[in-house]
Chains A and B, each alone.
Chain A
Amino acid sequence: MSLSNSARLEKMITEESRKFYFVAFRILGDQDMAMDAFQNSCVNALRSVDKFRGDSSLSTWFYTILINSCRKQLSVWNRLGRIFSHTDLEQFSSSEEDDGEDAEKLKLVMDEVGRLSSRQKEAMILRYSEGLSIRDISIVMGCSEGTVKSHINRGVTAVRTRLFPDSEESVDMAARACDAKLH
C-alpha cells in the first residue's frame, strides 16, 4: 500500500532532517537561524501538503519551502540592520585541526562562499551539496535554468579567483573590473 503524501512528508522530514537542516545552515551560517528556518519549513509543508500535486519530487517541493524560509530569515535579519556574521562558520573553520594546504584552501573556499550573493550561494549549495539537477534548482529557486547556470558559474569563478589569484583568468578579470571602473 502506498503512503499518503502527508505520511511520506512526515517520514522524509524526520529521516532526512539533518540533510535539510544543513542546507539551511549553509545558506544562513547560523545554527539558531537554520533551526528556525527548518522548523518553519516543516510547519508550512505539513500545512500545505494537500496542495502538493507531484509536479516535482516531494524533496524538491520541500527544498522550495526551505529556501523560502531561509530567504525570509535573511530579510528579517537584514531589516534588523544586523551584520551577517557567519559566527558558526568561522567557529568551524578555526576548529579544523589539519593545517595542511588542503585545509587552508577549504577555509578560503568557505570564506569566499560566505561572500557570495544569497542566490549564488543557494544555487551552489543545492548543486554541490545536495546534487540537485539544474532543472530542480530552477524550480526550487523560482528562476530559469539559464539563471541557475549563471549563478553557479559566477559563484565558481569567484571562488576560483580567490584560490588562484595569479592565474590568467583572474588577472584578466581584474583588468576588466579595472577598465569598468575607469569608464
Chain B
Amino acid sequence: MLILENEIMDDICIKFESEVNETGTDTLSTELMEHQKKCSRCGRYFETVKHLEEAMKYEVPLRKEPSEVAARVIEMMKTRVSINWQLPLVSFSLSVSILMFYIWGVFSPVNLVTDPGNNNNTEKTYLTFQAVPVSSENIKVPGNFSPYKSLAQVLKKDEGIK
C-alpha cells in the first residue's frame, strides 16, 4: 500500500515537473497546483521556477536603444540593396557604350592612320575621313543613285500619286 502510494506520488511528481517545464507556473492545472502545496519536493521545484521566471524578466538600463540599431541596419540594408540593383544596370550601360564606340570605330568614316614617319623614330597619327561608300566590289550602284529619290518613288507608288 505504502509502495503503491509512493509510486503514485512519483508519477504525479514527474508529471508536475514536466508540466512546469513545458508551460511554466501560470497555467498549471488545479490538480497539480494542489499537489505542489502538499508535496515538499514539487513545492520547491515550483518555487524555483517562479524565481526563475522572475529573474528571466529583469531588464537593465539600456546604454543604446536596440530599436535605433534595428532602424539603422534596415536603412543600411536598403541602401545596399539599391546599390546591388544599380550595379548590374551601370555595368550593362557601360558595356553597351563600349560596344557602340567599337561599332562606330569600325564602321565610321573616321579612321586613325599611323604613319611611321621618315626616320622610324617618330610616329604620326592622322584622322582621315573616308568618302561615303557608294559601291563595294560586287555591288554596282548606278551613278545617279540617290536614296532620297528612291524613297520618293516608293511613296508615290503607295499613295497612287502620278
Chain A residues close to B by CB (< 8 Å): 10, 13-15, 17-18, 20-22, 25-26, 31-32, 35, 38-39, 42-43, 46-47, 88, 91-92, 105-106, 109-110, 113, 124-125, 127-129, 131, 133-134, 149, 152-153, 156, 159-160, 163-164, 167-169
Fill in one digit per residue for B9-53: 1 if any A CB lies within 8 Å of its CB, else 0. Answer: 000000001101110100000000000000011001101110111
Indicate if the CB atoms of B52 and A43 lie closer than 8 Å: no
Task: Name the segment of B67-75, B85-93, B106-114, B152-160 touching the other chain.
Answer: B67-75
Besides A113-B52, A124-B52, 17 more A-B contacts (Cβ < 8 Å) are: A17-B67, A18-B62, A21-B62, A31-B64, A43-B77, A46-B73, A106-B51, A106-B58, A109-B55, A110-B55, A125-B56, A131-B24, A156-B21, A156-B49, A159-B48, A160-B44, A169-B44
| Contact among B47, B54, B69 for A17, CB-based, below 8 A | B69
- With a cutoff of 8 Å between Cβ atoms, the chain A residues found around residue B40 in the complex are 167-168
Q: Is the CB of A18 within 8 A of B66?
A: yes
Nearest A residue to B71 via CB reads A14
Whether B52 contacts A159 by the Cβ 8 Å rule is yes
What interface size band does chain B fall in?
35 or more
Which one, A31, A38, A92, contacts B63 given CB within 8 A?
A31
A133 proximity list for chain B (CB < 8 A)? 22
Residues of A with C-beta under 8 A to B22 = 133-134, 149
Task: Decide if A39 touches B54 in the complex (CB within 8 Å).
Answer: no
Distance between Cα atoms of A156 and B47 in the complex (Å) = 10
What CA separation (Å) do A25 and B62 show in the bound complex? 11
CA distance A72 to B48 in the complex (A): 30
Q: Which residues of A contact B18 (CB under 8 A)?
A: 149
With A113-B55, A156-B21 as contacts: A43 and B73 at CB distance below 8 Å: yes
B59 within 8 A of A: yes
CA distance A34 to B64 in the complex (A): 11
B57 at the interface (CB under 8 A from A): yes
Contact, CB under 8 Å: B41 / A168: yes
Residue pair A22, B59 in contact (C-beta under 8 Å): yes
Minimal beta-carbon separation of A114 from chain B (angstroms): 10
Does B139 have its Cβ within 8 Å of any Cβ on chain A?
no
Nearest chain-B residue to A168 (Cβ)?
Answer: B41
